[in-house]
Amino acid sequence: EDKVVQSPLSLVVHEGDTVTLNCSYEVTNFRSLLWYKQEKKAPTFLFMLTSSGIEKKSGRLSSILDKKELSSILNITATQTGDSAIYLCAGPQGGSEKLVFGKGTKLTVNP
Amino acid sequence: DAGVTQSPTHLIKTRGQQVTLRCSPKSGHDTVSWYQQALGQGPQFIFQYYEEEERQRGNFPDRFSGHQFPNYSSELNVNALLLGDSALYLCASSFTGVGTDTQYFGPGTRLTVL
């Protein structure tokens, strides 16, 4: 069965630090990998990575896909307290549109 | 452009009761998926609706059922509620097509079963 594993499960940093969140995936018929940020309830979409788009960047956030290692990282530079959230990684299961999620990484940024 | 909306925001029920949750997809989207998120876990896929039919289903019992209407909105019904059904229920909408894996989530319905 398809599986997505995230690490670490939680992380506490100070404002201004740079963090790297990890996601490894075992999905059949890889098509894409998605990152979401969940603050209160609704996961909000950050990035989608595919074989043709292995790097994405938006402001202080960036993500890279390593298809060979079946993994992805999400980097956040110069962290702010507003970055405190749960970051979720997901992939569509084997050719379908069902998203399989990891447990998430809870990031806490202290002032 | 309205995003995905869900109602109600919160709901408290007792064991054995039935509940209906509602979802309106983002404008232009034709596919609705439902997820259950327990505390400390990632969302778990319940099922997906497209063209008013259930297209795919996760590992959830038949107590969980759904419906999609011609305007693409959707309902999730849960019968014979159990304590373990307490969770955040998320609706996600998307457009079925090539290169459209991105699903956009609504704010969720927090269901508490007592």
Tens digit of each residue's pLDDT (9 = 90 or more) over A73-105? 999 999 999 999 999 999 988 767 789 999 999
Chain B hits for A99, Cβ within 8 Å: 33, 35, 43, 45, 92, 101, 103
Which of B101, B110, B111 to mutate to test binding with chain A, by most A CBs within 10 Å of its CB?
Answer: B101
* Predicted pLDDT of residue A60: 98
C-alpha distances in angstroms, A45 versus A12, A37, A90, B14, B110?
22, 7, 11, 34, 20
Tell me the helix, strand and coil percentages in chain A, rounded to 5.
Answer: 5, 60, 40
Is A41 within 8 Å of B45 when comparing Cβ atoms? no
* Predicted pLDDT of residue A96: 77
Is the CB of residue B15 less than 8 Å from the CB of residue B81?
yes
Residue A41's closest chain B neighbor by CA? B107
Percent of chain B with pLDDT over 70: 96
Residue A42's closest chain B neighbor by CA? B107
Is B88 within 8 Å of A41 when comparing Cβ atoms? yes
Is A99 within 8 Å of B56 when comparing Cβ atoms? no
* Predicted pLDDT of residue B99: 60
How far is it, in rounded angstroms, from Cα B6 to Cα B107? 7
Q: Give the pairing of strands A19-26 and A3-7.
A: antiparallel
The predicted-structure confidence for B57-99, as pLDDT tens digits, reads as follows: 999 999 999 999 999 999 999 999 999 999 999 999 998 876 6
Owner of token pair 């994405």:
A56
How many helices (DSSP H) and strands (DSSP E) are in chain A? 0, 11
* Predicted pLDDT of residue A53: 77
How far is it, in rounded angstroms, from Cα B54 to Cα B76? 11
Chain B hits for A44, Cβ within 8 Å: 105
pLDDT in tens, chain A (111 residues): 789 999 999 999 999 999 999 999 987 788 889 999 999 889 999 999 988 778 999 999 999 999 888 899 999 999 999 999 999 999 988 767 789 999 999 999 999
How far is it, in rounded angstroms, from Cα B9 to Cα B106? 10
- Residue B6's beta-bridge partner residues? B23
User: Average pLDDT, whole number, for chain B?
Assistant: 94
pLDDT band at residue B1 under the 50/70/90 scheme: low
